[in-house]
Amino acid sequence: MEAIDCTVLPARLAYVRMRNVEQVCSAIRSMKVRGAPLIGVVGAYGLVLAARKIRTRDRDETSRQLRKWADWLIQTRPTGVNLRWAVERVFKASSQAGSMASLEGELRKEADSILREELDAAHRIGNYGASLIDDDDTVLTHCNAGTLATAGYGTALAIVRAAVEQGKRVSVIATETRPLLQGSRLTAFELAQDRIPVKIICDSAAAQLMARGAVDKVVVGADRILRTGHVTNKIGTLPIALAAKFYGVPFYVAAPASTVDLETDPSQVVIEERDPREVLYIGSRRVAPRNVGALNPAFDITPPELVTGIITDRGVVGHPLEESLRSKFG
Ligand code: MRU
């Protein structure tokens, strides 16, 4: 299996090759492969690769070994729910296999369905969301919720793409998204490829631009949307949502059904804490003094009162979010 290596763009367009489940875990952990929906799809195929390692013919032992690999995959990035959702789906498909010979095929069938469904979901999100975008809008987005984060087409960027395909003039403001710069490296790369006008800002400029009326809408992706309407997304989303509320800018979240988690409470969400070096360095250059440490939470949680609406592949979820989410996804 191959995927675009998100750590080296835009300097190089390189591919990460994953020949076994260990390499899948490593690609996800190192964020060569990233973005909640894409991690889900790649994780699903990771479990297919894990099946190749199983040598026993005993059913229970097969299931035990597969479970171990499923858990390995799921813990590589604990915050987004898509990974768990996809891996559990493939794991469940193992019970359909009549024999060891058919196991890998059954798992692959399920992973292929996930890939197809997620690509279809991205286009649906685009279509639902495009109706909320007006001609001449400037859309602010955070992190990268585009092709490079999904099975293709994107979530937040799917909406921009679909609006542009409908003939609307849309320009994008992309936050650079410290520490790993998914905005300036990946979102800007994708949009430039599609010739959609994009300007990069440093993360802390978002509120000032809203204050002077330069942002019409905010559209971001999500890693986990809870029953209550709380939205977990890349660190830095919450301050953008707070500023949007203050300045009256609509704040939309775009995500497929695989990002919706009706079971977990906000207090139970595990916020991934990443290597402090991601903050202390920019690229390979250390920018902080040698004797100073860093905190590096990778995600934050935006409360429902800051969210205008959630654009999903099943339609737009409005307020009250909890009720609307339950009726669409319960
Ligand atoms: O740490 P990352 O780059 O995997 O974080 C990605 C995000 O937070 C995205 O906004 C989210 O996964 C949605 S992508 C369609």
Tell me: the pLDDT tens digits for 129-163?
A: 999 999 999 999 999 999 999 999 999 999 999 99
Task: State phi, psi for 197 to the nearest 5 degrees.
Answer: -60, 130
Helix (H) or strand (E) holding 178: none
Task: Please tell me if the CB atom of residue 177 comes closer than 6 angstroms to any atom of ligand 1.
Answer: no
Report the nearest-CA residue for atom 8 of ligand 1: 234
**Catalytic site residue 135?**
no
Q: Do residues 194 and 52 lie in contact, with contact meaning Cβ atoms separated by under 8 Å?
A: no
Q: What is the pLDDT of residue 226?
A: 98
What would the pLDDT profile of 201-214 be if each residue is shown by its tens digit? 999 999 999 999 99
Task: Please tell me if the CB atom of residue 258 comes closer than 6 angstroms to any atom of ligand 1.
Answer: no
Rounded to the nearest 10 degrees, what angle do helices 21-29 and 59-75 cross at?
20
- Locate the ligand 1 atom nearest the alpha carbon of residue 143 and give its number: 10
Q: What is the pLDDT of residue 156?
A: 98
For residue 279, CA distances in Å to 18, 210, 236, 286, 287 come to 28, 26, 14, 9, 9
Helix (H) or strand (E) holding 130: helix 100-130
Confidence check: pLDDT of 98 > 90: no
Q: What's the whole-number average pLDDT of the chain?
A: 97
Q: Do residues 1 and 27 lie in contact, with contact meaning Cβ atoms separated by under 8 Å?
A: no
CA of residue 149 to ligand 1 center, whole Å: 7
What would the pLDDT profile of 221-248 be if each residue is shown by its tens digit? 999 999 999 999 999 999 999 999 999 9
CA of residue 199 to ligand 1 center, whole Å: 19
Q: What is the pLDDT of residue 100?
A: 81
* Active-site residue, selected from the candidate residues 5, 203, 216, 223: 223
What would the pLDDT profile of 186-206 be if each residue is shown by its tens digit? 999 999 999 999 999 999 999
Buried-state track 115-135, b at ≥16 Cβ within 10 A, e below 16? bebbbebbbbbbbbbbebbee
Q: Do residues 12 and 127 lie in contact, with contact meaning Cβ atoms separated by under 8 Å?
A: no
Mean pLDDT within 23-27: 98
What would the pLDDT profile of 103-118 be if each residue is shown by its tens digit? 999 999 999 999 999 9
Q: Which residue from 28, 80, 43 is spatially nearest to 234, judged by alpha carbons?
A: 80
Task: Please tell me if the CB atom of residue 35 comes closer than 6 angstroms to any atom of ligand 1.
Answer: yes
Give Cβ neighbours of residue 172 (< 8 Å, ≥ 6 apart): 138, 139, 140, 141, 160, 187, 191, 196, 197, 198, 199
Q: Do residues 214 and 240 lie in contact, with contact meaning Cβ atoms separated by under 8 Å?
A: no
- Locate the ligand 1 atom nearest the alpha carbon of residue 255 and give its number: 15
How many Å apart are CA 277 and CA 292, to the nearest integer? 11
* 284 DSSP 8-state letter: T
- Locate the ligand 1 atom nearest the alpha carbon of residue 34 and give its number: 4
Q: What is the pLDDT of residue 283?
A: 86
